[in-house]
Amino acid sequence: MDVPQAILGEEINKETESLYKKEKKLGEGTYAVVYLGHHIKTKRKVGIKKIKLGNMRSGLDMSAIREVKALRELRHPNVIELIDVFSHKTNLNLVLEFLDTDLENVIKDKSLVFMPADIKSWMMMALRGLDHCHRCWLLHRDLKPNNFLIASDGQLKLADFGLAREFGDVKRAMTSQTVTRWYRAPELLLGATNYTGSIDIWAMGCVFAELLLRVPYLSGESDLEQLTTIFKARGTPTEDDWPGLSKLPMGFKFEKHPRPAFAELFHGASDDALDLMNRMLTYNPVARITAAEALQHPYFRNSPRPTQPAKLPRPKQEYVAEEEGLDSDGARRKRHYNDAFGDDVFSDGKGDSAVAHREGSGHSRDQDAQPTAKRMDLRISSPA
Amino acid sequence: MSVLQSAQKQEIPAFQTDDDSCPQCKSERYLNNGMRLLVGPCYHRICESCVQQIFDAGPAPCPECRRILRKAEFYQPIFEDLTVENEVRIRMRMAATYNKREEDFKSLKDYNTYLEMVEDLTFRLLYDINTDEAEYLIEKYKRDNTASIEKNQSKFRREEQLQQLISNQERIKHQQQREEYLKQLEEEKREKEVAKYNLINALATSDKDAKDIVKANMVHLKKSSLSNRSATQKPRLDIEALLRNVGGDFDDEDIEEEDEYAPFDPAESPYEPMDVELRSRYDDPNPAFRQGNTLAAAGMTREVHQRYVIEGAIAGLFAQPLHEDMVDAEATEANFRSAESPNS
C-alpha cells in the first residue's frame, strides 16, 4: 500500500465532510449541538448532531458510540436514518435524517384531537420500528414520546439511540438505571440486570396510555415513588403473577394495593385497545407481549383502520425540531420531564452530569451494575 | 324516517280530533279550537297552555307519572296511538346512530347480523328490557364509530340534496315541456285557422280547380305539424352536471373506500424474519439456566438466550460478500443482518 491507512482515513473523512453544509443551529444540549444542514448535491435536508467531546477525560462519550453502533445496524422506515458520520477537529458529527417534530409536541398540543385510528397508526409505526430493533437484538432503553420523531410525511421514527445496547447475552449484566423514570419497567426499578426487550414494551405501553390520556400515565417523583405509582395504578404484584419476583435484587415485600379497574381511567378506549395495553403493562416480563406479538394483536386489524401517516394530526406551528431528543431546548423539556429523569441530569447542565447519567449505562458499570446506594431506601413497608 | 323528518318540518299535520280534551285543565277542542295537545318523553298528553304554566319556571314533574320533564322536551305527536309515536321515535334515533348500509359490509351475512343486533337493541328499548345495558351499548357503539357515523350522515345528506336537486330539476323541465306543448298547440291551432282562411280565400279568388287547391293545402298542413313534432324532442336530464352542483365527488370517495379495504398487514416489515426453530433441549453450558431459571423474573428466559446465541451464530452466513461496485444503499440493506455481531 502506498498510502498509509491513517491518511487514507482522513481523506475519506474530509470528503464526507465536504458533502454537507451546516445552515443554522437548532438547539444545544449538555452533550451535543444540533444544526440544520443539507446535502450539497441533492439538497436533502439533514440534521447534523455535533457531539461535544470537550474534556476527553474518559475518551469518546459512550452514548455517541452507542448511537453510531446501533444506527449503523438499523435501517427501517420507522427508525431514524444515520446518513453519515465524520469528524471535525476533535468533534464527532452524526449526519441524521431531518425530522420536523416529535410525538411529545403532538401530545402536548391540546388543539389537536386524536381519533382512535390516529393512536392506532402511531402505535403501529412505533411497534414496527421497535420490533425491528428487537429482531436485531438491540434494546432502545429510552422510549418516550419525545424520542418518537415525526417526519414531514407523518411517518413516526424511533430516535435517540444514545442508551441503546445489545441484549440476549446472560453473561453480561446490564445496568438497571436506564430509561426515563416514568417509562421505566418494574423489573428495572427492582434492580434486574438481565432484562430483555420487554422493558421497551413497558415503555411503549406507557406511551400508549399517554396517547389516550394526553398526560403521562405513571409519573412518579422519585424511583421509589415510581414503584408505588405503578403499584397503585396496576395493583401490587405477587409471586403468583410474577414468578421469581422476590429473587430480584430489590424484590422486597411492598404495601398491598388492590388492582383498580383499568377501563375506568380510559373510558374512551375500545376493548381491544385496553386489552393490548394491559398485555404491554403486564408485570411478569416473560408474560408481557413482545413487539412482534403486539403487531399481530386484533387491535390493529379491527376497525377503525390505522390512519394514513400523511393524514395524522400534527402541530400547527412547526417546531424547528430538536433533532434526536437531546437536551437541546432545555427549558421546555425541563418543564415536562424534570421529574422523570434522575436529579443529576438537569442540574443546570454543567457538562458532565448528563454524561455521567448516560455513562451509568456504560460498559464499565454494566459489569457490576448493582446500585447499592439505593437499596436501603427502597423498603416501603416493613415485611409483614 | 323521511316521514318523520317531513313531519318535523310541519309538512304532515299533527293528529287531532274534534273531541280532544286536556287531561289537566279539561278544556276541550269544542270550546277552544286552537288548542294544541303536546306530549313529553313519558307520552302523557297535556295541552300547550298547561305546559306553559307548569314547566315555565324550569324542570318539573309530569302531573301523571311524576317524571321530571322540561318544557323543551314537549312536542306535538303525529300519531293517534302514542305507542306508535314512541316506536317511530326510537327507530328514528337508532337509525341516526346505526346508519350503515348493505354496501358497507363485506357479506350479506355480516349485514344481517348487524341488522339483527340493531333490531335486538330496538326491541329492548321498546319493551323496556335491560334498557340500561342497551343504552350503554348504543353509547359505546356511537363512541367507537363516530367517524363512520358522521361519514354516512354526510353521505346521506349529500344524497338527499342530490335527490332534491334532481327532482327540482325534473319539475322545472316538466313545466317547461308543458308550456312548450301548450304553445305548440296554440300555434298549430292558429296555423290551422290561417290555413283554413287561406283555403277559403283561395277557393274564393282562384280560378283553378277546387280539388287541386284543397289537396295542395292539406299537404302543407301535415308537413308543418310533423316538423313541429320532431322539434319537441324530450330534453334529457344532465345528471353529471347536477353531480357537479352538489359538490364533492362521489367517485373519489368510492375509490378511497376500496383502498381502505385493501389487504393490510400490521406486522409488515421490509425484512424476512430469521427462520430459527429452537430445539426443546440443548446441552447448555451456562449455569444460569441449569439451576432453576433465576433470570426469568427479569424476562431473560432460556429460549431468549438460546435464540440469541443461535441467531448470532448463523446471521449473515449466506449473505453476499460486499464488492466495491455493490457498495451502495441497497447492498447495505441486503446485508445489514450480516452486521450483527455473533456473540457466542
- Give A245's DSSP letter: G
Q: Do B148 and A304 touch (CB under 8 A)?
A: yes
B39 vs B336 pLDDT, higher one? B39
Domain CATH code at residue A43: 3.30.200.20
Res A80: pLDDT: 94
Partner-chain residue, chosen from A244, A296, A305, that has the shortest CB–CB distance to B267: A296
Residues of A in contact with B145 (CB under 8 A): 303
Above 0.90 for ipTM, yes or no? no
Pick the closest to residue A290 from A199, A183, A376, A213 (CA basis).
A199
Cβ-nearest to A194 among B300, B311, B343: B300
Query: Rounded CA gap, B31 and A254, in Å?
Result: 80
Distances (CA, A) of A292 to A23, A48, A97: 40, 32, 26
Res A135: pLDDT: 92
Q: What pLDDT band is residue A6 in, cutting at 50, 70 and 90?
A: confident
Q: Which of A107, A122, A240 is nearest to A182 (CA)?
A: A107
Greater model confidence, A317 or B166: B166
Judge if A87 and A105 occupy the same domain.
no
User: Which residue type sits at A164?
Assistant: A
Q: How confident is the model at residue A150 (pLDDT cuts 50, 70, 90)?
A: very high
More confidently predicted of B337 and B84: B84
The three-state secondary structure class of A301 is helix
- Tell whether A186 and A290 lie within a shared domain: yes
- pLDDT at position A230 is 92
Q: Which residues contact A141 (CB under 8 A, 6 or more apart)?
A: A163, A164, A165, A178, A179, A199, A200, A361
Residues A80 and A142 grouped into a single domain: no
- If asked whether residues A108 and A89 sit together in one domain, one would say no
- The rounded percent of chain B whose pLDDT value lies above 70 is 75
Q: How many CA within 13 A on the CB side of residue B244?
A: 4
Calpha distance A114→A210 (Å, rounded): 12
What pLDDT score does B196 carry? 85
Give yes or no for residue A37 having a pLDDT over 70: yes
- Residue B284 neighbours by CB under 8 Å, 6+ apart: B290, B302, B306
Higher pLDDT, B314 or A57: B314
Tell how far CA B322 is from the center of its chain.
58
CATH number for the domain including A295?
1.10.510.10
Please report how many Cα atoms fall inside a 13 Å half-sphere around the Cα of residue A327, on the Cβ side: 24
In this complex, which of A135, A268, A286 lies closest to B143 when CB atoms are compared? A268
Specify the pLDDT at position B204. Answer: 83
CA distance A137 to B312: 9
User: Which range marks the domain in which residue A276 is found?
Assistant: 101-381
Q: Which of A115, A245, A270 sits opposite B297 (nearest CB)?
A: A245
Chain A to chain B Cβ contacts (< 8 Å):
112
Distance in angstroms (rounded) separating the CA atoms of residues B119 and B284: 62
| CA gap B333, B331 in Å, rounded | 5
- My answer on whether A48 and A136 are in the same domain is no
Contact list, B299 vs chain A (CB under 8 Å): 187, 192, 194-199, 285-286, 288
Which residue, of A97, A118, A142, is where some domain finishes? A97
Is it the case that residue B177 has pLDDT exceeding 70? yes
Q: What residue type is A213 in one-letter code? A: L
Task: List CB contacts (< 8 A) between B286 and chain A.
Answer: 170-171
User: CA B115, CA B102: separation in Å to the nearest integer?
Assistant: 10
A190 to chain B: closest CA residue: B298
The predicted pLDDT at position A83 comes to: 92
Query: Would you call A142 a catalytic residue per the annotation?
Result: yes
Rounded distance between C-alpha atoms, residue A203 and residue A163, angstroms: 14
Averaged pLDDT for residues A279-292: 94
Among B266, B305, B339, the residue with its CB nearest the CB of A301 is: B266
User: Total domain count for chain A?
Assistant: 2
Mean pLDDT of B11-26: 77
| Pair A77, A163 in one domain | no
pLDDT at B151 over 60: yes
Q: Which amino acid is at B169?
A: Q
Q: Do residue A245 and residue A172 come from a single domain?
A: yes
Considering the domain architecture, whether residues A333 and A217 belong to the same structural domain is answered as: yes
State mean pLDDT over B84-108.
86
What would the pLDDT profile of B197-230 be if each residue is shown by its tens digit?
888 888 888 777 778 877 777 776 665 555 555 4
Q: How confident is the model at residue A347 (pLDDT cuts 50, 70, 90)?
A: very low
CB contact under 8 A, B298 and A295: no
Do residues A87 and A150 share a domain?
Answer: no
Question: DSSP secondary-structure letter at A220?
Answer: -
B322 three-state secondary structure = coil
Residue B274 and residue A306: Cα distance in Å, rounded?
27
Last residue of a domain, one of A54, A82, A97: A97
Our CA-based measurement puts residue B241 at a distance from the nearest CA of chain A, in whole angstroms, of 31
Q: Where does a domain end: A57, A73, A97? A: A97
Q: What are A236-255's pLDDT values in tens digits?
A: 888 888 888 888 888 777 88
Mark out the alpha helices in B69-145 (DSSP H runs): 82-97, 108-127, 131-144
What contacts A351, CB < 8 A, 6 or more positions away?
Answer: A30, A52, A54, A55
Q: For the whole model, what pTM was predicted?
A: 0.56
- HSE at residue A60, side-chain half, CA atoms within 13 A, is 14
Strand A148-150 with A156-158, pairing: antiparallel
pLDDT of amino acid A339: 39
* Chain B residues contacting A via beta carbons under 8 Å: 143-148, 260, 264, 266-271, 273-274, 286, 288-289, 293-301, 304-305, 307-309, 311-312, 332-333, 336-337, 339-341, 343
Left if phi > 0, otherwise alpha if psi is -120 to 50, otherwise beta: which for A322? beta
Q: Per the residue annotation, which of A61, A118, A131, A142 is the catalytic one?
A: A142
pLDDT of residue B159: 86
| Gap from A296 CA to chain B (nearest CA, Å) | 6
Are A121 and A222 contained in the same domain?
yes
Whether residues A335 and A189 fall in one domain: yes
Residues of B in contact with A73 (CB under 8 A): 336, 339-340
Cβ neighbours of B257 in A, within 8 Å: none
> Are the Cβ atoms of A168 and B307 closer than 8 angstroms?
yes
The chain-wide mean pLDDT, for chain A, equals: 79
Contacts of B144 in chain A (CB under 8 A): 116, 270
Distance from CA of B246 to the nearest CA of A (A): 25
Mean pLDDT of B222-250: 53
Residue A79 has pLDDT above 90, yes or no: yes
Q: Do A75 and B343 touch (CB under 8 A)?
A: no
Binding residues of A for ATP: 26-34, 49
Give mean pLDDT, residues A108-128.
92
Chain B nearest-CA residue for A114: B147
More confident residue, A296 or B264: A296
Identify the pLDDT of residue B222.
63
Cell numbers given for A263: 377501563
Contact by Cβ (8 Å): A159, A80:
yes
Same domain, A67 and A140: no
Using an 8 Å Cβ cutoff, are B319 and B335 in contact?
yes
Q: Which of these, A76, A25, A38, A34, lies nearest to A52 by C-alpha position?
A: A34
pLDDT in tens, A172-216: 888 888 888 999 999 999 988 889 999 999 999 999 999 999 999
On chain A, the residues whose CB falls within 8 A of the CB of B305 are 168-170
- With a CB cutoff of 8 Å and minimum separation 6, the contacts of B13 are none
Is pLDDT of A149 > 90? yes
pLDDT for the residue numbered A286: 92
Looking only at the bridges linking them, the beta strands covering A82-88 and A91-97 are: antiparallel
Which range of A370-384, B16-30, B79-93, B327-341 scores highest in mean pLDDT? It is B79-93
Q: Say what the pLDDT of residue B213 is.
A: 78
Mutation target among A137, A271, A274, A296 for the B interface, most CBs of B within 10 A? A137
